[in-house]
């Protein structure tokens, strides 16, 4: 089916209209009523969820996208780069930039497990459990989302609607309806909100409710939450007059999909609710390819080289002429690529009650500036780490005597 000219104009308009990059705060609250009404109508008509039968060029396209997804889904670094490159090609897809930035945080969380601040706090088994959880969520979201993004891109390129191919990737019936609506309305906020809803519900059973993570990660979450404060912060670094500043939020209640959706909406508002800040965030992303090390944003505090931080002491995050004092390794230096087995991708969508999420919004009243607070958190963690090392060394000395 060819894309109507009016639909192409609505979608392509994102490349030329000013609001493609930044949106007024009041527009960030909820999608347009028309989009919600059309989605409800589409979802109400769902009868069959059978996968598509593929032939010829369409079969070749699906196989090519599957292969591309597998290659780019190798690890957090490759995924994060893939989101960024897709966004640069398709600026109307807000979710791709949001996913890129959140994926950066996922990589930082993974390498924190081998960094200075958690040394001696986590056992090797703890580190492996936390990494496996973060990697599983990161991997599954990309596995589900990237084929959707590529089918959208191919639809625009060819002038043909290709979303009848979504079942070949076991994409939820919810998102099949969402993409159909987006092609009619060009409602970028609607699409972003729906992708946030979809991905957080998609990982609920296979990751969050998976027994190995319930027992190995979440059972100890409250015990570790203060020591693992970096796992509860999502940071969006951005270029400022004095260097790299930090915006972001603190995250809690990860177990509940509705709370994760609300967090996603808040991050979306933070990213697109201020045009200047968003441009500065984009500039940081362009200037600093993701490595997994926090050195990417604060090289005066973190270093991917453990030799550089030996013998150095804490200093204020504002003292950019001082040497780094915290080890933050690159991802590929501490975590090997994982082999993932995905046996099935059941459709999480059940009924139209999920549409209640489209009426929600993130926290528009938050103060997104975290530079000073984050610096104080680092100091607290550094002091905690030193205290633990002192207690450990004292205990070892007593044992020897």
pLDDT tens figures, 351-389? 999 999 888 766 655 678 999 989 988 888 888 777 766
With beta carbons less than 8 A apart as the criterion, state whether 147 and 163 touch. Answer: no
Residue 240 sits at φ, ψ, to 5 deg, of -135, 175
pLDDT tens figures, 105-143? 999 999 999 998 888 778 898 899 999 999 999 999 999
Asked if residue 279 belongs to a domain, the reply is: yes
Asked if residue 341 belongs to a domain, the reply is: no
Asked if residue 10 belongs to a domain, the reply is: no
DSSP state letter for 336: P
pLDDT tens figures, 260-304? 999 999 999 999 989 999 999 999 999 999 999 999 999 999 999
pTM higher than the cut 0.85: yes
Distance in angstroms (rounded) separating the CA atoms of residues 389 and 40? 57
On the question of pLDDT at 50 being above 70, the answer is no
pLDDT tens figures, 307-357? 998 777 777 888 887 889 999 999 999 999 999 887 678 899 999 999 998
In the block, tokens 């010829």 appear at 56
Query: Can you read off the two tokens belonging to residue 154?
Result: 């191919």
Distance in angstroms (rounded) separating the CA atoms of residues 51 and 41? 21
The residue among 158 and 224 whose pLDDT is bigger is 158
Asked if residue 375 belongs to a domain, the reply is: yes
Lowest model confidence (mean pLDDT) among 36-50, 55-69, 360-374: 360-374
- For the segment 40-62, the average pLDDT, to the nearest whole number, is 83
Asked if residue 11 belongs to a domain, the reply is: no
pLDDT at 24: 45
Asked if residue 2 belongs to a domain, the reply is: no
pLDDT at 310: 75
pLDDT at 391: 57
Kindly give, in sequence order, each residue whose CB lies less than 8 Å from that of residue 313, ignoring residues fewer than 6 positions away.
Answer: 325
Based on the structure, what is the number of domains in the chain? 1
Asked if residue 89 belongs to a domain, the reply is: yes
Asked if residue 390 belongs to a domain, the reply is: yes
Local confidence band at 17 (pLDDT 50, 70, 90 cut-offs): very low
The residue among 225 and 140 whose pLDDT is bigger is 140
Q: Which domain holds residue 355?
A: 27-45+56-335+351-400
């Amino acid at each position: 089916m060819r894309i109507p000219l009016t639909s192409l104009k609505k979608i392509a308009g994102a490349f030329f209209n000013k609001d493609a990059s930044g949106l007024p705060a009041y527009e960030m609250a909820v999608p347009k009523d028309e989009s919600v009404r059309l989605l409800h109508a589409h979802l109400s008509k769902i009868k069959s969820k059978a996968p598509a039968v593929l032939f010829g060029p369409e079969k070749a396209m699906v196989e090519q996208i599957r292969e591309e997804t597998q290659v780019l889904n190798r690890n957090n670094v490759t995924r994060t780069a893939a989101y960024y490159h897709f966004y640069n090609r398709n600026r109307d897809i807000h979710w791709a930039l949001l996913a890129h930035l959140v994926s950066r945080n996922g990589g930082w969380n993974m390498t924190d497990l081998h960094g200075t601040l958690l040394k001696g706090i986590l056992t090797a088994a703890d580190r492996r459990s936390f990494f496996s959880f973060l990697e599983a969520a990161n991997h599954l979201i990309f596995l589900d989302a990237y084929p959707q993004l590529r089918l959208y891109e191919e639809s625009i390129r060819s002038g043909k609607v290709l979303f009848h191919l979504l079942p070949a990737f076991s994409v939820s019936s919810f998102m099949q309806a969402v993409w159909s609506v987006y092609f009619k309305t060009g409602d970028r906020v609607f699409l972003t909100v729906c992708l946030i809803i979809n991905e957080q519900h998609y990982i609920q059973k296979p990751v969050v409710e998976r027994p190995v993570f319930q027992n190995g990660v979440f059972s100890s979450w409250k015990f570790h939450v203060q020591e693992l404060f970096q796992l509860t912060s999502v940071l969006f670094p951005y270029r400022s007059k004095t260097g790299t500043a930090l915006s972001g939020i603190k995250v809690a209640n990860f177990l509940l999909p509705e709370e994760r959706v609300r967090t996603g909406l808040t991050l979306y508002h933070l990213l697109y609710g201020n045009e200047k800040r968003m441009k500065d965030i984009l500039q940081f992303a362009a200037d600093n390819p993701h490595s997994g090390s926090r050195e990417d944003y604060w090289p005066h505090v973190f270093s991917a080289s453990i030799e550089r931080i030996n013998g150095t002491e804490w200093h204020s995050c504002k003292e950019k002429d001082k040497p780094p004092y915290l080890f933050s390794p690159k991802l590929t230096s501490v975590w090997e690529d994982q082999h993932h087995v995905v046996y099935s991708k059941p459709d999480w969508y059940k009924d139209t009650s999920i549409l209640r999420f489209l009426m929600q919004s993130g926290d528009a009243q938050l103060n997104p500036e975290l530079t000073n607070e984050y610096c104080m958190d680092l100091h607290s963690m550094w002091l905690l780490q030193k205290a633990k090392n002192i207690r450990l060394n004292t205990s070892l000395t007593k044992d020897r005597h």
